[in-house]
Amino acid sequence: MTAMAFFGASVSAPIAEAGEVNGEVGTAATCYGQKKKYNISIGVGVTGLMRTTSHCNDINIQSINRNALARGCFYRKADLQELLYCGSLKTVQQNQWTVLATNVQDDQPFRVQFEPLVGPYEGYIAA
C-alpha cells in the first residue's frame, strides 16, 4: 500500500480495478454488474486510486448513504502521483447512478473526490 496526498487528504489504498467485485471479474458482466463499493471515512473525502475497465465507457457513481457533490480526477499512467486534471463537480443523488466522466479510456487511473472533503461517503463506482 502507498499513501498519496490529495487535496490535503492522506489516502492509503492499493490500486484496484473499478470493475472488481470481491477480487473477481465476471466474463460477461455489464458495467453496473462490475460495480465496486467505496466507503470513505470522515475527514478523507476521496477514494483510493482505481482504474477504468473495458466494462464501461463512463465513470458512474451511486451514493447509498447521502446526497453528495463528486468529480473524477485523472492521473498520468506513467506516474500515478501526477494529477492530470479533475472534472467538474456533479450532484450525486442518493440511490441514483450519476455519470462523472464519459468516453474514458480503458486502464485510466482515477480517484473520485467528494465535496465537502469530510465524509463519510458510501456507495458504488462502475467504470
Structurally, how many domains does the chain consist of? 1
Interatomic CA distance for residues 61 and 118, integer angstroms: 18
* CATH classification at residue 114: 2.60.290
Does residue 116 belong to any structural domain of this protein?
Answer: yes
pLDDT digits (tens, 9 = 90+) for 30-39: 899 999 999 9
Write out pLDDT tens, residues 49-95: 999 999 999 999 999 999 999 999 999 999 999 999 999 999 999 99
Average pLDDT over residues 99-120: 92
Residue 42 in any domain: the answer is yes
Judge contact between 61 and 124, C-beta under 8 A.
yes
Among 14-28, 32-46, 57-71, 92-106, where is mean pLDDT lowest?
14-28
- For 82, the domain range is 29-126
- To the nearest whole number, what is the mean pLDDT of the chain? 81
Q: In Å, what is the CA distance from 17 to each residue of 5, 30, 93?
A: 20, 15, 24
pLDDT at 29: 58
74 phi/psi in degrees, rounded to 5 = -110, 145
Question: Residue 22 pLDDT > 70, yes or no?
Answer: no
pLDDT higher than 50, residue 10: no
Give the per-residue pLDDT at 116.
82
Residue 8 lies in a domain: no
Residue 43 domain-assigned (yes or no): yes
4 occurs within a structural domain: no
